[in-house]
Amino acid sequence: MESVLFEVIDMNFIKKYIFLVLTLALATSVFGQKIPPANWSHAVNKTEIKAGDVIEVIFKTQIPAGYHIYSNDYGDCPPRKAEFTYETHASYELVGKAKAIGSHHYEDDIFECEVADFEKKAEFRQKIKILSANPKIEGLLEYQMCTADGMCVLFEYEIEVKGLKVSGASTTTPIVEPDTPKDPKDDESPSDASIDVDEASVQSMPSFTDGNCTTCDSLVLSQLAKLNDDAASGGATKYGDVIKAEDVNYSSYQAASATDIGSCETKTFDGETNEENQTYWGLFILAFLSGLVALLTPCVFPMIPMTVSFFMKDGSKAKAIRDGIIYGLSIIAIYVVIGAMIGLFAKDASFANWLSTHWVPNVFFFLIFVVFAASFFGAFELTLPSWVVNKADKQADKGGFIGIFFMAFTIALVSFSCTGPIVGGLLVQSVGGAFIKPVVGMFGFSLAFALPFTLFAIFPNWLNGLPKSGGWLNSVKVVLGFLELALGLKFLSIADQTYHWGLLDREIYIGLWIVIFLLMGFYLLGKIKFSHDSDMPFLKVPRLMFAIATFSFVVYLVPGLIGAPLKALAGYLPPMSTHDFNIVQKILNPNEITQGYGGVQPKYNDKLHLPDGLRGYFDYEQGMEVARSLGKPVFIDFTGHGCVNCREMEARVWTDSRVHKFLDEDYVVVALYADEKTIALPKEDQFYAKNGKLITRLDKKNSWIQECYFNRNAQPQYALLDNEGNLLQPTRNYDLNKDTYVKFLKDGLVEYKIRMDAKLAE
């Protein structure tokens, strides 16, 4: 016999909402799986050859059921193609590109363009012409392995072709070794004393990014040190000649080769281990408030009196109190277990980085939020598969503790269509942090969610004070639709910033928010009405107050169109550097390109920027060398395009006059972006990490530096270093307290001066 609860739910709610897409996206596909790499192998069609012959290297793999790998033989469509890269060597040359064998071409419904992929098995063939004996053929295959529901991970397969016997070839043919990581000592000038140039000549010297000059780097840096030493009479700038470049290794995170198994040494300060030192109260409070908001949705609010009435049906208050408490604890347990499962998977650095910065999950989350917003506006109804709730409800009919637990599970399922976007937002925020973060988030949410069910079971008379269900619940749902549409833009913005698409520059983003919240304000005033809205004969005071707040927020947004910083929204808006029509920036800092010191222009400053007109660098070694020459300590900023807390720190803390003065005058700022996907390292800057992986991209280099030196993978993280790369203070993370941040910078400067004075005294 079906329970009273299921009868009510089935009649009023089951056919109205679906959580299938969001559940798959957030609970199953993204957080519940760890995609394995494919087991690739390669072989050649013949091993005994002579110089001038063409061989064919055949790459094959079996693909597990439910997965597919994108091919390389389709046009301009967003999914990442398989890509083969080879080390340049004089003993061979490639004949064309790798050819896909048996790939499946089809029109992708989401991207509306043709793609090609492999299922069950994949095969590529690459023709190579052998030019001399002892051919050295090495390279890398980068490919994207995806699940059927859209989760994709980028993997690498290292290529090394062996076993070739070449006859009739000269063994004296000069073999050009592949580019290897450059030793910092290779390009050093003989000594500072051998360089005699004036300050004007320094300004006209080629920059670090000029690849045609092999001695310019050390020449400029040495001259800067000389000028600084001559001009300075005291303060931090008098230490420019204390530490010699030949005594410092800024690349200890690099391995000598792919087989180097050395380990990184984490930087410490007086025994400091760089463990995350933060409170979780902020996340808990946010999650708790989110749970209270979820209670006001039409999927949840009507269930409170219905569920409590079910507990009270046998007339025993003691049993109702006991069952209500068990029911509330069951809800908490369900959500906490979800958070714990996510914590197990999301703490993996590579997975967390992929999920938070790659375009695939971010665009997917954006589309999910748009779909739910459209549903809340009444464009269509989402239907929950009946078998899901039926199974849970049958278990609930058993009674006892198990029955109560499955009643809670049924409520969680049915309400997920309204609570899913709220829960999903909390889970995305917790990805990349410690294991405890998603657990804390889910505990806070579920505590608020379960509290009324438990309290009303204990004090049933309170039910008489609840407002009646009606049109106001639908208004809450529509308002949530507007909010989801606005917040969903953040996911698209992250992908846009990371890949430099230029779709959502700051003024476009702000303009969209202005339109969305204007429409929301007009809806609250009753000027806009959807098909499923009730008639509103008059405007009630709560709606008027919400409308006033909404229009006030729009007024706050408008100056942002011409460059106002909008500090309160710093973490949710694109950075100021993406603002094309920034009148404020044009007046205060007309030069938008990040500048360096003494004519040493920063690498990568065409794509990367520092906020608020600060000077600095985006390459670790370059920043350290400039700081050594200037005799200044280094401020390392591990940041990212999609880092909400980074933007908030920059807008609310770095703009403090005291903080800005320290960063601009006393430190050399080095911003290391951990999610910059488009900048490839020059061949001479590529290196092997200690795990044997060849690092070819800037984001991978910066992520490895952070993991190697500071044992962290989340941003922001701030480190103060002396010119030998040693910590001056324990590292800091997200903290909006300006006074403690000023103390952090001041203490680092004091420690730097103490160390330099000690060196001078030696």
Query: Which is nearest to 602 in space by CA: 187, 210, 208?
Result: 208
Q: Assign 445 to helix, strand or coil.
A: helix
Binned at pLDDT 50, 70 and 90, residue 463 comes out as low
Has residue 411 been placed in a domain? Answer: no
User: CATH number for the domain including 60?
Assistant: 2.60.40
Has residue 278 been placed in a domain? Answer: no
Binned at pLDDT 50, 70 and 90, residue 547 comes out as very high
Binned at pLDDT 50, 70 and 90, residue 183 comes out as very low
Mean pLDDT (the chain, rounded): 74
Between the two ends of the chain, the Cα-to-Cα distance in Å is 89
Has residue 686 been placed in a domain? Answer: no
pLDDT of amino acid 445: 83
Of 593 and 135, the one with more pLDDT: 135
Q: State the average pLDDT over residues 285-309.
A: 71
How far is residue 195's CA from residue 616's CA, in Å, rounded to a whole number? 25
Using DSSP bridges, classify how beta strands 687-689 and 694-695 pair: parallel, antiparallel or unpaired. antiparallel
Residue 102 has pLDDT above 60, yes or no: yes
Residue 32 has pLDDT above 70, yes or no: no
Residue 302 has pLDDT above 50, yes or no: yes
Residue 496 has pLDDT above 90, yes or no: no
Q: State the average pLDDT over residues 660-682.
A: 90
> Among 44-58, 357-371, 524-538, 571-585, which is the least confidently predicted range?
571-585
Has residue 175 been placed in a domain? Answer: no
> What is the per-residue pLDDT across 681-717, written as a single tens digit (0 to 9) for each?
988 888 888 777 888 999 889 988 988 888 877 788 9
> Among 46-60, 155-169, 552-566, 724-738, which is the least confidently predicted range?
155-169
Place of tokens 């098995």: 121
Has residue 741 been placed in a domain? Answer: no
**Residue 431 contacts residue 352 (beta carbons within 8 Å):** yes
Q: State the average pLDDT over residues 227-245.
A: 49
Q: Could you give the number of structural domains in the chain?
A: 1
Instruction: Give the domain range for residue 55.
Output: 41-150
Residue 591 has pLDDT above 80, yes or no: no
Residue 212 has pLDDT above 60, yes or no: no
Q: Cα 760 vs. chain centroid, distance in angstroms?
A: 43
Residue 382 has pLDDT above 70, yes or no: no
Percent of the chain with pLDDT over 90: 19
pLDDT of amino acid 231: 40
Residue 557 has pLDDT above 50, yes or no: yes
Residue 487 sits at the vertex; the CA angle it makes with 486 and 488, to the nearest 5 degrees, is 95
Binned at pLDDT 50, 70 and 90, residue 237 comes out as very low
Residue 287 has pLDDT above 90, yes or no: no
Global pTM reads 0.47
> What is the per-residue pLDDT across 45-69, written as a single tens digit (0 to 9) for each?
888 898 889 999 999 999 988 788 9
> What are the backbone angles phi and psi of residue 348, rounded to the nearest 5°?
-65, 130
> How far are the Cα atoms of 148, 328, 367, 381, 439 from residue 453, in angstroms, in the given order?
38, 7, 33, 27, 21
Residue 296 has pLDDT above 50, yes or no: yes
Has residue 79 been placed in a domain? Answer: yes
Has residue 310 been placed in a domain? Answer: no
Has residue 74 been placed in a domain? Answer: yes
pLDDT of amino acid 576: 73
49 forms beta bridges with 166
Of 201 and 568, the one with more pLDDT: 568
Of 512 and 686, the one with more pLDDT: 512
Residue 494 has pLDDT above 50, yes or no: yes
Collect all residues with Cβ–Cβ distance below 8 Å to 260 and sequence separation of at least 6: 688, 690, 692
**Residue 420 contacts residue 29 (beta carbons within 8 Å):** no
Residue 588 has pLDDT above 60, yes or no: no
Binned at pLDDT 50, 70 and 90, residue 424 comes out as low
Of 93 and 446, the one with more pLDDT: 93
Binned at pLDDT 50, 70 and 90, residue 209 comes out as very low
How far is residue 139's CA from residue 150's CA, in Å, rounded to a whole number? 28
Query: Which is nearest to 374 in space by CA: 415, 410, 421, 412?
Result: 421
Most confident of 58-62, 461-465, 495-499: 58-62
Of 641 and 382, the one with more pLDDT: 641
Binned at pLDDT 50, 70 and 90, residue 652 comes out as confident
Of 547 and 207, the one with more pLDDT: 547
Q: How many CB atoms lie within 10 A of CB 261?
A: 8
Place of tokens 């043709």: 114
pLDDT of amino acid 599: 75
